[in-house]
Structure 1
Amino acid sequence: MPKLNLPIQFFLLLVFLLFLSFGIHIFVLSTKSLPVLENLIVRSYLVNGILAAFIFSALYQFRERLKNQIGFLFMGGSFLKFIFFFLLFYPSYKSDGDMSGLEFASFFVPYAVGLFLETFYTSKMLKNLEESSE
């Protein structure tokens, strides 16, 4: 089987891990008799997945031209995620004056999955870039 390039590896693993974590998240909520599809959980997984894919794609696209600024671009991607959080999620979560743990988990779990993969694959991309320049 041919080796998949880095972006394809990233996208496949991102989709797999987001589906897996979504399934586990829903399972835990249902076993604790908590509301399953509330707190914008579906939107959160979708938005975080799309943003992680977009950010890694942008980093990969600019890896050679802006290799010395990849860290700043990575931080810019995290800033972009926070903008989306404050525009799409925060108003709903704070509408009752309090952000519950369930609301926090609904956003943070897919955010953490995406961030972990972005970090891991960006590191891998930079290592490959460094090895190819030697």
Structure 2
Amino acid sequence: MNSESREFSTKVLIFLSISFMAHLILNAVIGVPIFQHQIIHSYTINAALAVGIFWGLTSLKTKYSNQIGFMFLASSFIKFFVFFMVFYSPYKADGKIVFLEFVSFFIPYTICLILETYFLSKQLNQM
């Protein structure tokens, strides 16, 4: 793992840990079970996907520098595929997706997406 990937992985871990703790505290404050809506799976799967995709894209950036943007877009499709395979059915089991289910997935997804975009654009600007 190169230094950029290590730095990215560390940032993902830090930001998601802070967000996860805040999320659990907020769940406790509003009176819902803190670990409901597959929150642990959501954070871990989003972190693993972000680190894996970032590692893959950074390892391919010199060989496929002209196509790296398309590869990044393809990675978003991979994330949506994983969402529909892992989370959609349990979230939709009662016939609707409630706000708490939505944010349980969307918060870690958004944090990872922002970090991926920032770090990848920083690397591509150095090329």
- Scaled by the length of structure 2, the TM-score of the pair is 0.97
Q: How far apart, CA to CA, are the structure 2 residues paired with 1:54 and 1:8?
A: 11
**Per-residue deviation at 1:62?**
0.3
Residue 16 of structure 1: which of 14, 17, 35 is its match? 14
Residue 83 of structure 2: which of 67, 82, 85 is its match? 85
Which residue number corresponds to residue 99 of structure 2? 101
| Superposition misfits of 4+ residues, deviation over 4 angstroms | none
- Bigger Cα Rg: 1
Structure 2 letter corresponding to 1:92: P
Structure 2 letter corresponding to 1:125: Q
Q: How far apart, CA to CA, are the structure 1 residues paired with 2:91 and 2:33?
A: 15
Residue 26 of structure 1: which of 24, 27, 32 is its match? 24
Q: How far apart, CA to CA, are the structure 2 residues paired with 1:8 and 1:39?
A: 30
**Per-residue deviation at 1:108?**
0.3
Aligned length: 126
Q: How far apart, CA to CA, are the structure 1 residues paired with 2:107 and 2:52?
A: 18
Matched ranges for 1:46-65 at <5 A: 46-65=44-63
TM-align CA RMSD:
0.9
**Per-residue deviation at 1:8?**
1.1
Q: Percent identity?
A: 38
Deviation per CA, 1:41-74: give whole Å up to 9, x if none: 0000000000000100011000101111111000
**Per-residue deviation at 1:90?**
0.1
Q: How far apart, CA to CA, are the structure 2 residues paired with 1:106 and 1:7?
A: 26
Structure 2 letter corresponding to 1:55: I
Structure 2 letter corresponding to 1:111: Y
Q: How far apart, CA to CA, are the structure 2 residues paired with 1:45 and 1:73?
A: 23
Stretches of structure 2 that go unaligned for 5 or more consecutive residues are: none
SS at match of 1:66: coil
Deviation per CA, 1:17-58: give whole Å up to 9, x if none: 110100011111111111210100000000000000010001
Stretches of structure 1 that go unaligned for 5 or more consecutive residues are: 130-134
Structure 2 letter corresponding to 1:74: F
Which residue number corresponds to residue 117 of structure 2? 119
